[in-house]
């Protein structure tokens, strides 16, 4: 399954890719969600409370069936993020995780605990893109038949308040991704100062 974003990012089966950039990349990811839903169901896990149905509806161009194919879950803590990723079944339904690290930047949770939970989340992201098959669909040679691969996009934003732990979390996530894209947004043009 190939889906191209404005940044030429392709969604590939058997893989999840990481998009790292400022929060301003969210509308592009929401439009990607709508394009994926034009083909079939999509699962969205929102870790930063960024999912907004209005840009998705605009991208869906007035097709209500597109919005009906999107299932959104929100995580407000890193523990909830892990629980949501654990509950997602592996298979061919693509997923989009918005701001995975948003809940992990919470300094009320000890750094070691956040790193441990992130490691478990990364294992679940990998599980979601591995081959799977419905029950009883085992091939004669014991392999899966037919293999059904998942695909996904995971976004992460730099922390608002940089810290050593936040940098380490982002490094762990980046190291786990097979593909990572870094999006730089152009700085807005300076507004001339008015004297009168």
| Band of pLDDT at residue 138, cut at 50, 70 and 90 | low
Directed axis angle between helix 111-129 and helix 164-176, to 10°?
A: 20
pLDDT digits (tens, 9 = 90+) for 142-161: 554 445 567 899 999 988 88
pLDDT for position 14: 83
Q: What is the mean predicted confidence (pLDDT) over 150-179?
A: 91
Question: What is the structure's pLDDT at 148?
Answer: 59
Across the beta sheet with 70-74, what order do the strands follow?
A: 70-74, 42-46, 95-98, 151-156, 15-20, 179-182
- Cβ-based neighbours of 57, under 8 Å, separated by 6 or more: 34, 67
Instruction: pLDDT band for 7, please (50, 70, 90 cuts).
Output: very low
In this prediction the pTM is 0.81
Q: What is the pLDDT of residue 145?
A: 44
Q: Output the pLDDT for position 2.
A: 36
Q: Which residue has the tokens 């004297």?
A: 195
Nearest to 85 by CA among 115, 119, 34: 119
pLDDT value, residue 88 = 93
Q: Which domains does the chain have, with CATH numbers?
A: 15-182 (3.40.50.300)
Specify the 3-state DSSP secondary structure of 66: helix
Share above pLDDT 70 across residues of the chain, in percent, rounded to a whole number: 82
pLDDT digits (tens, 9 = 90+) for 10-67: 778 888 999 999 988 888 899 889 988 998 999 999 998 889 888 898 888 878 899 9
pLDDT at 146 (0 to 100): 47
For residue 136, pLDDT over 90 is answered with: no
Average pLDDT for 76-103: 94
Tell me: pLDDT of 187 over 90: no
The predicted pLDDT at position 189 comes to 61
Burial string for 149-163 (b: 16+ CB within 10 Å, else e) reads bbbbbbbbbebeeee
Tell me the C-alpha distance between 61 and 92, whole Å. 25
Q: What is the pLDDT of residue 6?
A: 46
pLDDT-derived band at 123 (thresholds 50, 70, 90) equals very high
């Amino acid at each position: 399954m190939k889906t191209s974003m404005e940044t030429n990012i392709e969604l590939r089966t058997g893989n999840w890719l990481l998009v790292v950039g400022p929060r301003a990349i969210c509308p592009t990811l929401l439009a990607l969600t709508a394009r994926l839903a034009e083909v079939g169901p999509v699962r969205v896990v929102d870790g930063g409370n960024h999912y907004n149905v209005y840009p998705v509806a605009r991208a869906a161009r007035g097709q209500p069936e597109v919005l009906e194919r999107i299932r959104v879950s929100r995580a407000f803590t890193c523990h909830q993020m892990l629980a949501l990723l654990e509950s997602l079944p592996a298979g061919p339904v693509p997923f989009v995780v918005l701001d995975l690290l948003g809940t992990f930047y919470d300094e009320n949770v000890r750094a070691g605990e956040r790193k441990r939970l992130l490691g478990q989340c990364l294992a679940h992201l990998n599980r979601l893109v591995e081959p799977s098959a419905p029950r009883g669909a085992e091939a004669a040679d014991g392999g899966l038949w037919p293999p059904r691969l998942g695909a996904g996009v995971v976004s992460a934003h730099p922390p608002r308040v940089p810290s050593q732990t936040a940098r380490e979390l982002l490094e762990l996530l980046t190291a786990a991704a097979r593909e990572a894209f870094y999006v730089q947004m152009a700085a807005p043009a300076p507004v001339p100062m008015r004297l009168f």
